[in-house]
Homo-oligomer: A and B are copies of this chain.
């Protein structure tokens, strides 16, 4: 996108001014289309409608309910050309259509290395072996007897935004930033299980495997394992879904999703990292010179505007517009999000829906009196370590364009006067 193509009229980004001005808010009725009741008799409000004339569904209609049929487009979606097959593949959370921070399990993204397996609770076993005083095998019911905790965490795939390194490519936030979900997990601190087995002094790492064919083995430093990792059996209050590791998965808060091993089967305490396939030929970051960074576990601070975005065009004319999005950091809590509508030339602070929680999604809002001009909408996250989300230019200066992992660059949506939005880059 050329500088000269941009609309750089002096736009007021001061949300507070918009909210403070009685006149501006008063103008919303006309601007936003709210009709004056007496001047436009609308049968939908003045006449008795069919749905007010009879019975609706009774409470036995859906013992476990699904979204209403009209929301049929709020689903996980695959990108067929992205991987060789749908078994070893990815689908994406429809974050463009969601609000708040909790991701409903039904539309939370999936990434499988050998498909989602079906494993009954009674067939579930978890072994802890290696450098421990007493190797142990736990059943599901054993896990239920340990003191448990409940915490909300985001899970982001290391490859989220991975197709965007070389340039803007996928035209929808579901596909560019949708390998993320955020759920409230309940489980047992991994520390409690390791202490039950007794870690020997020479134990410095754990190697974690799933029960599926891929096993998806990953090494994790003992320090992280003993800190905040969770052996989780519930998400958003209910049993983990099959596709998210039923009956038990590992949570590794703030770290790349590939380490959150599903159908958790075995934890071996070791004196060094295993250097498995999943942490050498995969999930390492190839740099410009062809060498690779490894052990880049933490997901750095990132944010994205979810609406407006290519899948969520503005459907109304000029006037009040809610810009909203998500921010997160694997290093801690989001403290601030800035929004720009001129491609990063000027920034204004967004409003956080609630104070940032450590290693969990944060919702932000930016209320704008849109003049109907084109915009280059961006967001920029700050976390409580002082880290600020980089531009693509800044990220490429360090990392080159050879990686598919850990792209946390600022995203740009080109919003046109007709309200449609497109994935673009600005320098």
Q: Hey, which bits of chain A sit against chain B, CB under 8 A?
A: 19, 25-26, 28-29, 32-38, 40, 42, 44-45, 49, 51-68, 70-71, 74-78, 85-87, 89-91, 97-107, 110-112, 114-121, 123-125, 127-129, 134-139, 141-142, 144-151, 184-186, 192, 195-196, 211-213, 215, 234, 236-239, 241-243, 246, 263, 265-266, 315-316, 319-322, 324, 351, 353-354, 363, 365, 367
Contact B239 A34 (CB under 8 A): no
Which residue of the partner chain, among B58, B78, B234, contacts A85 with CB atoms under 8 Å?
Answer: B58
B36–A134 CB distance below 8 A: yes
Contact present for B76 and A64 (CB under 8 Å): yes
Tell me the bound Cα distance from A55 to B212 in angstroms: 8
Count the copies: 2
Between-chain CB contacts (< 8 Å), 20 pairs: A32-B145, A32-B146, A36-B137, A40-B137, A45-B127, A45-B137, A51-B117, A52-B117, A59-B243, A60-B86, A63-B75, A64-B76, A64-B106, A70-B246, A98-B234, A101-B184, A101-B237, A104-B105, A146-B322, A236-B236
Q: In the complex, what residues of B have CB within 8 A of residue A134's CB?
A: 29, 36
Q: CB distance A239 to B67 under 8 Å?
A: yes
Across the interface, do B66 and A106 meet the contact criterion of CB distance under 8 Å?
yes
Contact between B322 and A56, CB atoms less than 8 A apart: no
Contact B184–A45 (Cβ < 8 Å): no
- Inter-chain contacts of A54 with B (CB < 8 A): 114, 213
> Min CB distance, A161 to chain B, in Å?
18
Q: Are A238 and B114 in touch, CB under 8 angstroms? A: no
**Chain B residues near A315 (CB-CB < 8 A):** 141
- A195 near B25 (CB under 8 angstroms)? yes
Q: Is B236 touching A100 in the complex (CB atoms < 8 A)? A: yes
CA distance A142 to B28 in the complex (A): 9
Given contacts A28-B146, A100-B184, A100-B237, 18 further A-B contacts (CB under 8 A): A37-B136, A42-B137, A44-B123, A51-B119, A55-B115, A61-B116, A61-B243, A63-B76, A64-B106, A67-B239, A67-B241, A68-B118, A102-B184, A104-B237, A145-B322, A147-B351, A147-B367, A150-B354
